[in-house]
Amino acid sequence: MTDFALVDDDQQLHVRDGAWKPELGPEGFDRVPLHPGAGITAFVNDCGFRLPDRYPRNILGALIAIRLGAHIRPLAGPVVFTGWNPAGCGSEIRPLNPADIQSLTAIHADFTAALNGTHHNQAWAGKVLAAADQLRSMPTPTITLIGGL
């Protein structure tokens, strides 16, 4: 079984076996929750937005995550997709199965074609281009800390 899929900083999809955490960088990782029915989750570098020279926005990774149920928000740096079983004993993370890989590959191909202007459904491609522009121009996500709580 394949362990994970990676959308790298060049927006390319790679299917790999082995350790996925090093793909995200040395700073650490953060989970991007997806729809529970997908059976997949995503991970990104947890300092990606603080280090934009090292971790550029990953438009294709974000679009794939959104398609799989993530909140609409930009993602920075490589995006790793693994299998996910919320009822898992020991770990919720699991290897991707062949159907997961096929789905991720097809979604990546559709979004790539839309962004390149070669997708057969130009109406849908226009919506993808608008979403990509929105992700590029969104402000960096922040957290507001409220004192005294």
Task: Label each residue of the chain as H, E or C.
Answer: CECEEEECCCCCEEEECCCCHHHHCCCCEEEECCCHHHCEEEEEECCHHHCCCCCCECHHHHHHHHHCCCCCCCCECCEEEEEECCCCCCCCEECECHHHHHHHHHHHHHHHHHHHCCCCCHHHHHHHHHHHHHHHHCCCCCCCCCCCC
- What CA–CA distance (Å, rounded) separates 95 from 137? 34
Do you know the residue count of the chain? 149
- What CA–CA distance (Å, rounded) separates 77 from 29? 11
Mean pLDDT by 10 residues, the chain (149 residues): 89 96 94 92 92 94 97 95 82 91 97 97 97 93 70
Of 73, 74, 70, 59, nearest to 114 (Cα)? 59
Q: Output the pLDDT for position 2.
A: 63
